[in-house]
Amino acid sequence: MVIGAESVHRSGNWILSAKRHSTSISPDRDTVYSFDLEGRPLYWFERGRTYKRSLASVVHARDRAGGRRHHWQLSPEDAAQHFSTMLSVADRAPLRHAGPTLHERLMRIRVWSPDALQEEGSKFTGVYRPISILPPDQYLAVVVQATFGCSWNRCTFCNFYQDDAFRARTLSSFEEHCRGVRRLLGRGDALRKSIFLASGNALVLGNERLRPLIGAAREQFPGRPIAGFVDVFTGTRKSVEDWKKLAEQGLARVHVGLETGHDPLLRWLNKPGSVEASGAFVRTLKQAGLRVSIIVMVGVGGSRFAADHVRDTVALAGELPLGRGDTVYLSPFLEQPNSDYARRATEDGMHALDDDELDAQYEVLREAIRRARPAVTVSRYDIREFVY
């Protein structure tokens, strides 16, 4: 049976589906395995748990118990066992009358072994430096690393780039990197509808350096919109015309970590910028025709800043010129052990919000921002669910 761009074959309890960009196998109503067009596992559902495989074949798991989500990473041995199970299911999948597309897709899956999938980790590290974090809408982007580290790298709460000095690739190094990414993804790049310019705040680069890098990325991955991180402090160095030129070249969305609308908390976090600068910068981006995603941390500053953080963040969100196509991400704050934040919180006697208080602040922010900006998408951003 063909439905639009999807070929579906049913045999008893089995459902095999050849979607435009992936293949799925479901041997029963409680189990689904999904694969990319190279035949590599993407994610799967078993017994109420969700598993996701990274390009490096690291497997992350998630389930829900006691009304809360739980996240963990599988050991290499457990990951290999899962690979073995799903590949054996693919080997048993009934193909009679399934049609040529599903035959071809299943054959691609069946060439893999648990050992071959584990070896994808070495291929990944041959192409990428560690990818610390992405916004949720970019988890299925083509990530290309134009820079390493963060140009500021002194926020007390962040340890993503702690030991990585900020630097940019040369154009020739970046071009070779993009070719390596293309080889690694293979046909699996069909899933990836955008390009994310990593790492850290890569958009801080001046246009004379940035535009050739964007051109190189689009040459290898044409037709995809581009996104990237930038902070308020460095983003304001570009004019509206600078941002327009990047938009003309394919930049479509800019992700900005505002964290809070309360200036004293920003200073406590050692985060450069201010509420006034944040508003001016977002207006600049919107005047340049770009979509904007802002990131707010839920629970940051603990009980000491809670009321001011909520009040001023909601006020800021209501003043920003955000509209349809823009996003406010609410990211539950996770205090990193041994971070400057943890040290300072201890010194200042600051109390972290407990889980119930964190949930309550999330709900207050979400509902208030939705009322203030009904056309804007307000979404959860849980960094524990990041997998690339």
Per-residue pLDDT tens digits for 58-70? 999 999 988 888 9
CA separation for the pair 256, 236 (Å, rounded): 11
CA separation for the pair 37, 183 (Å, rounded): 13
- The domains located in the chain, with CATH, are 2-120 (no CATH), 128-385 (3.20.20.70)
Per-residue pLDDT tens digits for 115-167? 999 999 999 999 999 898 999 999 999 999 999 988 777 778 877 776 777 88
For residue 215, the model assigns a pLDDT of 97
Tokens of 96: 């009679």
Distances (CA, A) of 255 to 92, 158, 194, 202: 44, 16, 14, 11
For residue 3, the model assigns a pLDDT of 40
For residue 151, the model assigns a pLDDT of 74
For residue 159, the model assigns a pLDDT of 72
CA separation for the pair 53, 112 (Å, rounded): 14
Q: pLDDT tens digits, the chain, 388 residues: what are they?
A: 334 457 899 999 999 999 999 999 999 999 999 999 999 999 999 989 999 999 999 999 999 988 888 999 999 999 999 999 999 999 999 988 888 999 999 999 999 999 999 999 999 999 999 898 999 999 999 999 999 988 777 778 877 776 777 889 999 999 999 999 999 999 999 999 999 999 878 999 999 999 999 999 999 999 999 999 999 988 999 999 999 999 999 999 999 999 999 999 999 999 988 999 999 999 999 999 999 999 999 999 999 999 999 999 999 999 999 999 999 999 999 998 888 999 999 999 899 999 999 999 999 999 999 999 999 999 999 999 999 9
Strands 291-298 and 327-332: parallel
For residue 5, the model assigns a pLDDT of 52
CA separation for the pair 293, 256 (Å, rounded): 6
For residue 2, the model assigns a pLDDT of 39
CA atoms within 13 A on the CB side of 265: 26
Reduce the DSSP state of residue 307 to 3 states and report it: helix
